[in-house]
């Protein structure tokens, strides 16, 4: 664990460990503990894939005081933090109407469209981080045959619910947006709801399992505004 002062009122807590589900849960547990210890002294605490950004209220404390509090956190307690892991089932339609980049990715990686779909369905993914857009989930890691660079020319108008691939990760666009990930499908689920107590149903450390649905199932689901299915606690 390392500390970097980004400016006069923010510090980045960073980990060099290999990215895996255990590290994601560890960082999530640290965030929970930091919020508990320092809730009156910080303005924000933002978890990323291998770091936590802390915005400090300088009217109440200093960076040094916050860093010292974090260093005092009991690692063994955090590492054994009893946190329920939720597994969410997300339906995806891989029809070409939605999978706007799947043929391009097929050519780039020299695998069939069906192989892309099967490989994408073959894993349960860790929610590594939230960001870019409210409710945008970074999920990993994908199998090697799906690894790819971001698109050379980003798309200006990616459909809400789109499922993307880039590097060794997959993602879900919670709303219409520009973006540079290769789009291979779409989900009819609502991924961010401001009217809900918890606008985003998942958080880092949870898991996502994709399931394939047909185009007719997709249209039926989107008309019902289906919610994600919690399949395991």
Predicted TM-score of the model (pTM) = 0.85
pLDDT number for residue 197: 78
CA neighbor of 71 nearest in space, from 6, 13, 10: 13
Q: Are residues 51 and 71 in the same domain?
A: yes
Alpha-carbon gap, residue 164 to 1, rounded angstroms: 31
Q: Are residues 75 and 141 in the same domain?
A: no
Q: Are residues 177 and 74 in the same domain?
A: no
CA angle 192, 126, 28 (to 5 degrees): 80
pLDDT bucket at 224, cuts 50 / 70 / 90: low
Q: Structural domain tally of the chain?
A: 2
Task: Find residue 232's DSSP bridge partners.
Answer: 87
pLDDT bucket at 74, cuts 50 / 70 / 90: confident
CA neighbor of 200 nearest in space, from 119, 131, 121: 131
Alpha-carbon gap, residue 36 to 91, rounded angstroms: 36
Domain with 67 in it: 2-79
pLDDT bucket at 1, cuts 50 / 70 / 90: confident
CATH code of the domain in which 37 resides: 3.30.1360.40
Q: Are residues 164 and 181 in the same domain?
A: yes
pLDDT bucket at 18, cuts 50 / 70 / 90: confident
Q: Evaluate if residue 231 carries a pLDDT over 90.
A: no
Q: Are residues 109 and 37 in the same domain?
A: no
Q: To the nearest whole number, what is the mean pLDDT of the chain?
A: 91
pLDDT in tens, 118-170: 999 999 999 999 888 888 999 999 999 999 999 999 999 999 999 999 999 99
Q: Are residues 226 and 120 in the same domain?
A: yes
Q: Are residues 154 and 210 in the same domain?
A: yes
Q: Are residues 208 and 94 in the same domain?
A: yes
Q: Are residues 112 and 181 in the same domain?
A: yes
Q: C-alpha distances in angstroms, 184 versus 42, 46, 154, 157?
A: 40, 29, 15, 15
CATH code of the domain in which 121 resides: 2.40.100.10
Q: Are residues 15 and 94 in the same domain?
A: no
Q: Are residues 152 and 53 in the same domain?
A: no
Looking at 44, 79, 114, which one is the last position of a domain?
A: 79
> Hey, is 206 helix, strand or coil?
coil
pLDDT number for residue 122: 97
Q: Are residues 28 and 108 in the same domain?
A: no
pLDDT number for residue 225: 58
Looking at 45, 79, 113, which one is the last position of a domain?
A: 79
pLDDT number for residue 84: 74
Task: Find residue 13's DSSP bridge partners.
Answer: 3, 52
Contact between 164 and 183 under an 8 Å Cβ cutoff? The reply is yes
Looking at 24, 50, 79, which one is the last position of a domain?
A: 79
């Amino acid at each position: 664990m390392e500390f970097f002062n980004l400016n006069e009122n923010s510090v980045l807590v960073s980990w060099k460990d290999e990215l895996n589900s255990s590290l994601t849960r560890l960082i999530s547990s640290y965030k929970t503990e930091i919020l508990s210890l320092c809730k009156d002294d910080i303005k924000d605490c933002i978890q990323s894939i291998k770091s936590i950004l802390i915005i400090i209220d300088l009217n109440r404390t200093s960076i040094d005081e916050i860093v010292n509090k974090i260093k005092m956190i009991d690692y063994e307690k955090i590492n054994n933090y009893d946190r329920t892991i939720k597994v969410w089932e997300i339906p995806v339609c891989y029809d070409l109407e939605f999978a706007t980049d799947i043929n391009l990715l097929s050519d780039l990686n020299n695998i069939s469209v069906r192989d892309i779909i099967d490989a994408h369905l073959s894993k349960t993914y860790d929610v590594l981080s939230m960001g870019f857009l409210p409710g945008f989930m970074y999920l990993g890691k994908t199998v090697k045959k799906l690894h790819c660079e971001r698109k050379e020319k980003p798309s200006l108008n990616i459909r809400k619910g789109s499922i993307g691939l880039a590097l060794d990760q997959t993602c879900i666009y919670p709303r219409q947006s520009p973006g540079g990930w290769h789009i291979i499908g779409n989900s009819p689920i609502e991924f961010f709801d401001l009217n809900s107590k918890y606008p985003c149903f998942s958080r880092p450390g949870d898991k996502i399992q994709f399931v394939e649905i047909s185009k007719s199932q997709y249209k039926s689901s989107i008309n019902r505004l289906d919610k994600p299915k919690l399949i395991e606690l």
